[in-house]
Structure 1
């Protein structure tokens, strides 16, 4: 009973912190600071998107990773001279470079206006860019809450235990989302972002070869789909080879992801389990049959995600350069900055 009470208290404190922070985010935060910020970001993102489609899934995944590791504070963008930042972790190294480039170019576009220079956080620019790539691929538009500040700490050791993995069960996924204040409905809705983008073969080939003693192929996979994946990803395949997350409409942000799950065509175990586990089957069926229901749930979910452990007010900073903290950035190494920020000096 004592353990349960302690857990409940901790959970209530987490919700209180989340609600307190999100209450300070505003939809029109920059109205009197940089009123054209959304246009600047949107134009930069659209230009980058027209150069390469990878801009869309790359930017969206960057936002997800940023929020899950240290909260939505753009810590994922920080670089380290000692290769110790989030982006240097094995998971971070799978993030598309076009996602980082999108934010850097959007930041430059914002700072090109003298009235906006160094007044808009990289965290907010990333949140806006994520919304814009969703719209550019046919997804729903929504108003982004703003007012985040940028973090000053980024370590690769903090990544692995924070990011949902392709092999996770529903219990693990639910637990990880719950720890950030997100519901199981948020989990299913946000997973729908896998309707665009791609994955490298190494992240799912365990399902195709030597899955278990009883079956070399994951039995939850559609047999024809499994054969297609084996053709695209033979054993010992070049690690740079990738396949579309959605084999049917990979460049359109739609509800086809859920229709694929109904057919046993979820690329990751963590995708397919949303349909095979009865606790979430109904949501998958709802989103597969009702595009509006999916879009509404996704808007709610990504808004909730954007509130996770945000820094506001006097917390953090507004980085002049999204890849480095402001403190003595001309000559101080990333590792040394981190020591100062965490009080280890």
Structure 2
């Protein structure tokens, strides 16, 4: 009992510390942060994102995923952008991150911003702007992005492994992973809607097709027709083939993902598991039938995510090159 009380007390202290940190972040981040110091900041990022998505629609999902993977490890500090060095393996080279893309879009925006306003706009803010702009280019709803983040100078592969929920996660593991970052279960479902755009390597879900436990070769929660389709796209042993996460509209930010879940056509276990809980399943069905509610909830959750663990004021730095800390 004493151990349990101690564990509960530690959990309460952790939650209290999280909300104190979030309150401080909200006090220092603000919409229009660069209006005076670099008025063209958001315009430049938007131009680079628009150009990239027009050339390759997949960049919309790539930039959104970059921001998510950045914020869930050490907070939204641009640490996912740092390159590995001879003495350190960075986040981007951790197994969950090796398929990340969009780094060159951030590089291009940063290069232009350094010409326009040297040493003013952080890489972490560029990531937050770019994620929003990619969503808009894919047909989603825009939202104001509070800015004022500064860039961190620590990035380690091991931390990425411990903080990013895997595609094999089930509802309890998903809920706990998001709760650890201060999100409600409802916000977790909203943010999961990011999978309405983008693609996945077969290796992230092939166990659902060919090796699903000792008594089944296929995941019984999957629609059989979808299983057959995926087996054609991902023959056993294939790893590098790419499959859309929302096959009906892979490049459009809509509610197709939630319709897929209702039809038992979620690609990852971490997707379909949202239908295994009465509360989350009800929310999935609501989003499938009401895109306005989903867009609103998703935007609010994205803004909240953007406050996670931010460095402000005199903390961190403003990198001149997003891939390396300032020398």
**Same-fold call, TM > 0.5?**
yes
Report the secondary structure of 1:208's partner residue: helix
Contact 2:122 2:149 in 1 (8 A): yes
Deviations 1:108-153 (A, max 9, x none): 122221xx12100000001000000000000000100100000000
Equivalent in the alignment of 2:229: 228
Q: Distance in 2 between matches of 1:152 and 1:55?
A: 25
Equivalent in the alignment of 1:252: 252
Equivalent in the alignment of 1:308: 308
Moved over 3 A (4+): none
Report the secondary structure of 1:70's partner residue: coil
Contact 1:44 1:109 in 2 (8 A): no
Q: Distance in 2 between matches of 1:23 and 1:227?
A: 52
Per the TM alignment, residue 54 of structure 1 is displaced from its structure 2 partner at its CA by 2.0
Q: Distance in 2 between matches of 1:171 and 1:210?
A: 22
Per the TM alignment, residue 165 of structure 1 is displaced from its structure 2 partner at its CA by 0.6
Q: Distance in 2 between matches of 1:201 and 1:134?
A: 24
Per the TM alignment, residue 273 of structure 1 is displaced from its structure 2 partner at its CA by 0.5
Per the TM alignment, residue 23 of structure 1 is displaced from its structure 2 partner at its CA by 2.0
Report the secondary structure of 2:24's partner residue: helix
Q: Distance in 2 between matches of 1:282 and 1:9?
A: 32
Equivalent in the alignment of 1:333: none
Deviations 1:266-310 (A, max 9, x none): 000000011122231111011111100000100111011101000
Structure 1 gaps of 5+ residues are 329-345
Question: How many equivalent pairs are there?
Answer: 322
Equivalent in the alignment of 1:87: 92
Per the TM alignment, residue 22 of structure 1 is displaced from its structure 2 partner at its CA by 2.4
Structure 2 gaps of 5+ residues are none
TM-score, normalization by structure 2: 0.96
Q: Distance in 1 between matches of 2:9 and 2:213?
A: 40
Contact 1:71 1:308 in 2 (8 A): yes
Deviations 1:216-253 (A, max 9, x none): 1100000100100001001111x221100001011100
Equivalent in the alignment of 1:124: 125
Matches within 5 A, 1:263-302: 263-302=263-302
Matches within 5 A, 1:150-169: 150-169=151-170
Report the secondary structure of 2:200's partner residue: strand
Equivalent in the alignment of 1:103: 106
Contact 2:57 2:138 in 1 (8 A): no
Report the secondary structure of 2:72's partner residue: helix
TM-score, normalization by structure 1: 0.91
Equivalent in the alignment of 1:332: none
Deviations 1:167-195 (A, max 9, x none): 11111111111111111111101110100
Equivalent in the alignment of 2:140: 139
Contact 1:66 1:72 in 2 (8 A): yes
Q: Distance in 1 between matches of 2:226 and 2:314?
A: 51
Q: RMSD over aligned Cα, in angstroms?
A: 1.1
Instruction: Tell me whether 8-17 or 198-207 shows the greater mean CA deviation.
Output: 8-17
